[in-house]
Amino acid sequence: MTAILSTIILGLLILAGLGILLSFIPVGLWISALAAGVHIGIFTLVGMRLRRVPPAQIVNPLIKADKAGVDITVNQLEAHYLAGGNVDRVVNSLIAAERADIPLPFERAAAIDLAGRDVLEAVQMSVNPKVIQTPLISAVAKDGIEVKVMARVTVRANIDRLVGGAGTETILARVGEGVVTTVGSSVSHKQVLENPDSISKTVLEKGLDAGTAFEILSIDIADVDVGRNIGAQLQTDQAEADKRIAQAKAEERRAMAVAREQEMKASVEEMRAKVVESEAEVPRALSDALRQGRLGVMDYYNMQNLLADTRMREGISSVGQMEERPGRQDDKK
């Protein structure tokens, strides 16, 4: 009984060991590679396990590439995986380039993938060009009329310039700059409306795809519309600004005039105070003249009579003026 139990335990241990060994050594994947005609050693697969490289992500793309006639090695795929690249996407791009008769070596495809660009999309764009639509571009002609333009740019990927080349944002920015320059150099907005193809011709002549990862095939004007009268609006704003400046200067002059008026009133009051002060000195001067004998008593009384006579005449003249005013008003009635 004990021998049977020991045999069972030994068999279970052997099965467990075989399971662990088979999970570490991808025998099924090795058999699939042999069946597909791809010769890869079992110890190479074990080495991938030790280097923490999933064998399936290397063997399956390798089988795919071998069936498509693309010559690549296990070391190239494994090195690209360890560098952080997408092995399956690179192999798919190599197969697409082979079918489209586009020269694309593995090193360049791997460099494009490691640069962060989608190499498969680049190959597909080389075969099937992509249409990029610009946002609504606003430009002003020389006559001050705003023109709104929308363009469609047909581009094809340039695989040789994918690494280090500018993207679609640069293409859109350059096309927008070319449209603004072309419309701005037009004498009238009517010229742009009559010949919208002049915009695409002028923009294409500038070589906007220089230094980019694309090749511009054509620029087509999708829509042209007339916007606001920017020139008239600017003139109106300038006139409004000039009016406000003139009003501010007039208000400044008015404030200066008011201040000058207040200064003159203060000056008049000051002169009156001086007159009153001088009149206050007259009695003192008279008393001094009487005391020193330079003025006699009769002279003083004659002067007082003269002053009284002057006040009487002024009173009579003021009464006459009051009587004349009602009569003039009656005559007017």
CA separation (Å) from 102 to 41, 90, 158, 213, 310? 32, 14, 11, 16, 126
Structure pTM?
A: 0.55
**Would residue 320 count as lying in a domain?**
no
Instruction: Look up residue 28 and give its amino acid.
Output: G
| Spatial contact of 69 and 92, defined as CB atoms under 8 Å apart | no
When pLDDT is cut at 50, 70 and 90, the band that residue 333 belongs to is: very low
**Are 142 and 196 found together in one domain?**
yes
Clarify whether residues 32 and 112 are in a common domain: yes
Name the pLDDT band for 119 (thresholds 50, 70, 90): confident
Tens-place pLDDT, residues 38-87: 787 777 777 777 788 788 888 888 888 888 888 888 888 888 888 888 88
DSSP structural state of residue 127 = H
Helix (H) or strand (E) holding 132: strand 130-133
In a domain, 267, yes or no: no
Residues 68 and 121 in one domain: yes
Quickly list H helices, the chain.
2-24, 27-35, 42-50, 56-68, 74-82, 87-99, 106-114, 119-127, 168-184, 189-194, 197-204, 230-292, 297-332
Q: Phi/psi of residue 298, each to 5°? A: -65, -35
Domain finish residue from 179, 201, 229: 229
- What is the chain's mean pLDDT, rounded? 80
Q: Does residue 115 share a domain with residue 169?
A: no
Evaluate whether residue 241 is within a structural domain.
no
Domain termination residue (choose one: 78, 110, 127): 127
Asked if residue 146 and residue 55 are part of one domain, the reply reads no
Domains identified in the chain, total number: 2
The amino acid at 143: D
Q: Same domain, yes or no, for 26 and 120?
A: yes
Tell me the C-alpha distance between 63 and 235, whole Å: 72
Q: What is the CATH number of the domain that holds 178?
A: 3.30.479.30
State whether 31 and 116 are in the same domain: yes
Classified as helix, coil or strand, 103 is: coil
- Which token pair is 202? 């002028």
User: What is the C-alpha to C-alpha distance for residues 12 and 20, in angstroms, rounded to an integer?
Assistant: 12
Q: Among 65, 97, 127, identify where a domain stops.
A: 127
Q: Are residues 97 and 172 in the same domain?
A: no
DSSP state of 144: S
Confidence band of 11 (pLDDT split at 50, 70, 90):
low
Q: Tell me, yes or no, whether 291 lies in a domain.
A: no
Does residue 136 fall inside a structural domain? Answer: yes
* Domain shared by 113 and 135, yes or no: no
- Within its chain, how far is the Cα of 93 from the centroid? 37
Both 179 and 160 in one domain: the answer is yes
**Which residue range is the domain that position 41 belongs to?**
21-127
Q: Per-residue pLDDT tens for 262-321?
A: 989 898 888 888 888 887 887 777 787 777 777 776 777 777 788 788 888 888 887 766
94 and 168 assigned to the same domain: no
Instruction: Judge whether 311 lies within some domain.
Output: no
Within a domain: 298: no
Q: Which two tokens stand for residue 71?
A: 């010559």
Residue 142 and residue 212 share a domain? yes
Query: Angle 56-68/87-99 helices, nearest 10 degrees?
Result: 0
Residue 306 lies in a domain: no
Stated as kind and residue range, the H or E segment containing 154 is: strand 145-157
